[in-house]
A and B are shown apart, each in its own frame.
Chain A
Amino acid sequence: SQQGEEDPQALSIQEGENATMNCSYKTSINNLQWYRQNSGRGLVHLILIRSNEREKHSGRLRVTLDTSKKSSSLLITASRAADTASYFCAPVQGAQKLVFGQGTRLTINP
């Protein structure tokens, strides 16, 4: 298994702006998953993108995947205060264990 590396480590934006977080990984994958963690809570799955997909949408979330660059991005449009959380990516290779990086801490300022 491999660990994704999220970038930036921290991001602070104004409410209503878009937030973009990036994830890089090292080897081939079957899929890549994004999770959110609110303060003091467990991680919650947001979206999964398979290796043969390039872009996926879910509400205000847009995920892209570039397997040639071994990178993914998560875009949150029209951010809200409730989007304040840490965001983690998990590249899945053999579809066994999921390993997480340090995450991106997103702060939405009112």
Chain B
Amino acid sequence: DAGVIQSPRHEVTEMGQEVTLRCKPISGHNSLFWYRQTMMRGLELLIYFNNNVPIDDSGMPEDRFSAKMPNASFSTLKIQPSEPRDSAVYFCASRLDITSGNTIYFGEGSWLTVV
């Protein structure tokens, strides 16, 4: 299996631009998580989906952030408009069964810099 695949790996964008991060979870996994990591705030859970349905988006920082999961094999995290404080590494992770306590598998992250 190819693991969790994220794109782009690196993105530099100007303040005010729209940013779209993409994630392909491991095939067959039914839970998907978006995390953000910064030096100051550590690893924050933004939102997670189960069977393509958003279960908890309490970690989404503000209305500029939105996430979708149109099908079991694809999810996006969008920031519009982007701001310099959004600069971070964004990780997507997936898991087979949300109720079993199974381990989650992380992608390699999308490194976002907003200038």
Tell me the A residues contacting B by CB distance below 8 Å: 30-31, 33, 40-45, 48, 88, 92, 95-103
Contacts and interface: CB of A to CB of B under 8 A. Distances in A.
B33 A42 contact: no
A94 B82 CA distance: 34
Interface of B is mostly: strand
Interface of B: 4, 33, 35, 42-43, 45, 48, 55-56, 91, 93, 98-101, 103-109
B93 A42 contact: yes
A43 B33 contact: no
A92 B4 CA distance: 22
Nearest to A94: B99
A96 B98 contact: yes
Contacts, number: 52
Interface of A is mostly: loop
A103 B43 CA distance: 9
A41 B98 contact: no
A37 B106 CA distance: 10
B43 A88 contact: yes
B108 A97 contact: no
Contacts of A101: 42
